[in-house]
């Protein structure tokens, strides 16, 4: 790699781990005695979801959905594209949708409509980040790790133009990236 980049730490690995454990503990309590299907929304949620399910003390089924609306841009295209669908029926199942960030709310709004039409027993949302400054849709978040300021964040699954997902912390790009 030729260019030097130095993302500033916005939320540390330790802070993330503490919140992930706290959410997992609540989820374990709330879903005791239910059969849970966890849906990881690719790509951004893959690290959060992976850490979260390791701390949920319940048997669960893991599914993936891939959607995209940002492409390589920092601004949403305003349209969500379903790029990969579930591999099983969620009818009558308790479903937990896991996202990395609720920004405008467009993606979650789209996914909730899509999934509710498949008649799950329940549908809840867990998200790592929520950026209220940009919200354009009415979104109910059931499990939230961090509410954040209006900054473009990367790392811990989140990308800028396909990069930085592998960072173990949530960072902010400095000028000149
Ligand atoms: C990002 C993120 C959320 C969505 C949030 O996905 O992972 O799914 O945007 O933004 P919204 O609330 O404005 O809809 P992106 O389209 O960048 O795809 P990715 O997860 O593959 O990075």
Q: Split the chain (177 residues) into runs of 10 and give each run's mean pLDDT.
A: 70 98 98 94 97 97 91 71 96 98 95 97 98 94 97 95 95 73
Q: Using only the alpha carbons of the chain, give its radius of gyration.
A: 16
Contact 134, 103 (CB under 8 A): yes
Q: With a 6 A CB cut-off, is 28 part of the ligand 1 pocket?
A: no
Query: Would you state the pLDDT for residue 2?
Result: 41
**Residue bearing tokens 């260019």:** 3
pTM score, two decimals?
0.93
Ligand 1 pocket, mutate which of 69, 138, 159, 162 (most atoms under 8 A from CB)? 69
Two structure tokens written together for 70: 């940002």
Asked if the bond preceding 43 is cis, omega within 30° of 0, the reply is yes
Contact 108, 139 (CB under 8 A): yes
Taken in order 26, 88, 80, 136, is the CA torsion positive or negative? Answer: negative
User: Which atom from ligand 1 is nearest to the alpha carbon of 159?
Assistant: 22
Q: What order of strands is seen across the sheet that includes strand 8-11?
A: 8-11, 170-172, 153-154
Q: With a 6 A CB cut-off, is 107 part of the ligand 1 pocket?
A: yes
What DSSP string describes 71-87?
TTSSS--S--EEEE--S
Query: Would you state the pLDDT for residue 108?
Result: 97
The two beta strands, 36-42 and 60-68, are parallel
Query: Would you state the pLDDT for residue 71?
Result: 64
Active site residues: 103
Whole-angstrom distance, CA of residue 15 vs CA of residue 7: 17
């Amino acid at each position: 790699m030729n260019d030097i980049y130095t993302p500033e730490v916005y939320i540390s690995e330790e802070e993330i781990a503490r919140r992930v454990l706290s959410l997992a503990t609540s989820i374990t309590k709330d879903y005791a005695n239910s059969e849970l299907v966890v849906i990881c929304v690719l790509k951004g949620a893959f690290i959060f979801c992976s850490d979260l399910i390791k701390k949920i003390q319940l048997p669960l089924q893991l599914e993936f959905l891939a959607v995209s609306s940002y492409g390589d841009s920092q601004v949403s295209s305003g349209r969500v594209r379903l790029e990969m669908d579930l591999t099983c029926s969620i009818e009558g199942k308790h479903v937990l949708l896991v996202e990395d960030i609720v920004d405008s709310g467009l993606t979650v709004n789209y996914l909730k409509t899509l999934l509710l039409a498949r008649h799950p027993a329940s549908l809840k949302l867990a998200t790592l980040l929520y950026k209220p400054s940009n919200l354009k849709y009415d979104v109910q978040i059931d499990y939230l790790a961090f509410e954040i300021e209006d900054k473009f964040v990367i790392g811990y699954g989140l990308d800028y133009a396909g990069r930085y997902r592998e960072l173990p912390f949530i960072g902010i790009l400095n000028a000149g990236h």
